[in-house]
Amino acid sequence: MSRRDAWTMAALPKTLQAHARAVTTLAEVNRARAHALAADPALMTPAQAQAARERALLVAQHCDVEAAVSADPATPLYWVTEAMAQVALDASQDIPAITVSGAPSPSGVIAVQKGLPALDSPDGHGWLTMASTWHTTPIAPDLFLWHTTDDEFHVIAYAHTSRMPSGVRFYDGPLHELLTLIIRRSPDGSWPVLDAPDPEVPLPREHVRGMEMTQASGPRLAVLAWLAAAWHLMLMPTVAEARRIEPAPAPRNSHSTTPAAEPAITRVDLRPLRTVPTEIPAQPAEAPTRTHRWIVRGHWTHQPHGPGGRQRRLQWRESYIKGPAGAPLSRSRPVNVWRR
């Protein structure tokens, strides 16, 4: 197995470089198709041909930007451990406001160590494979890429080849696009805040557009909620431990004295839960006593700040362990799903 085919933190830069080459080829194919299209009265009207050309050029343009972000060594790369991804997934279930304004940088990549729960196709019809068949079974995303233009915020979710269903391929590369989401700026220049992230309620039409859609719900909203939660939590030192992993020195190219540079990767892991000891007050003889410790689930709150505490800032209160010191910890088995 080549390095680009492995799903590991060390392989992430090579995976992105291979992906950049694949989408660059896809851009060239679409540009060639746009120039070759001609109105054939038997097959296509002039208006249809023009629309097809514009569509092919739009795809090529998106591929160019996607390739540039993937190949740029300055693009921040984050590797999120399984435990951290699960906490972000839990937090995304009831996040009271979704916005992309919390992104740590204008562009970036988040790779998830063990992936996330499987997503349905965004349009409900499935994904077209390289074999010209439709795949309709949900697929788990492993990587998210985002980038910003003057007035739009783009998010793309992918599955890695090694974690795709057996024999299923969408593209000739290591990453397979599952969905695209594009958020438009508000008229005042800010990113919109969605206060009611109900997956049954589409995002406002004036803020969202995609390659083939004008509204977003279901899978797209689930991805946006997870990213908003992950961005928030990974910047909280009480919740996450972010460690920058510098690349190993690259071997020198035989034709050059300058070694090819690989980007550093920020590994985001979950900090151990803190313990809040509980003093057991005197109880009536018939009152039950606490014999176990338990986990208090993390939750969102609007924290007062600013002059007089009149402003509110969305803040995650991390989970913690509560109960008598030394008592056994009572655990429940977590079940991780996307918000419904």
Convert the pLDDT of each residue in 300-324 to its tens digit. Answer: 777 776 776 666 677 776 665 666 6
Higher pLDDT, 185 or 4: 185
Higher pLDDT, 171 or 45: 171
Examine the pLDDT at 211 and tell me if it is beyond 50: no
pLDDT cut 90: percent of the chain above it: 39
The per-residue pLDDT of the chain, averaged, comes to: 79
37 in Cβ contact with 49 (< 8 Å): yes
Reduce the DSSP state of residue 88 to 3 states and report it.
helix
Examine the pLDDT at 26 and tell me if it is beyond 90: yes
How many of the other CB atoms lie within 10 Å of CB of 225?
Answer: 24
Reduce the DSSP state of residue 295 to 3 states and report it.
strand
Average pLDDT over residues 197-211: 43
Average pLDDT over residues 162-181: 93
How many of the other CB atoms lie within 10 Å of CB of 175?
Answer: 27
190 in Cβ contact with 173 (< 8 Å): no
128-142 tens-digit pLDDT: 999 999 999 999 999
H-run or E-run covering 160: strand 152-160
72 in Cβ contact with 20 (< 8 Å): no
Cα dist from 116 to 51, 130, 157, whole Å: 36, 24, 11
Place of tokens 């392989």: 11
Where are the strands (E) in the chain, listed by range? 77-80, 108-112, 127-128, 134-135, 143-148, 152-160, 175-184, 208-209, 240-245, 265-270, 274-277, 294-296, 299-305, 311-317, 320-323
User: Among 169, 192, 243, which Cα is nearest to 9's?
Assistant: 243
Q: Is the dihedral of CA 15, 17, 18, 23 positive or negative?
A: positive
323-340 tens-digit pLDDT: 666 666 666 545 444 443
pLDDT of residue 205: 43
Residue type, 12: L
Higher pLDDT, 24 or 275: 24
Phi then psi for residue 293, to 5 deg, are -95, 155
Q: Which of 71-85, 145-159, 226-240 has the lowest mean pLDDT?
A: 226-240
Cα dist from 227 to 93, 114, 315, whole Å: 12, 16, 15
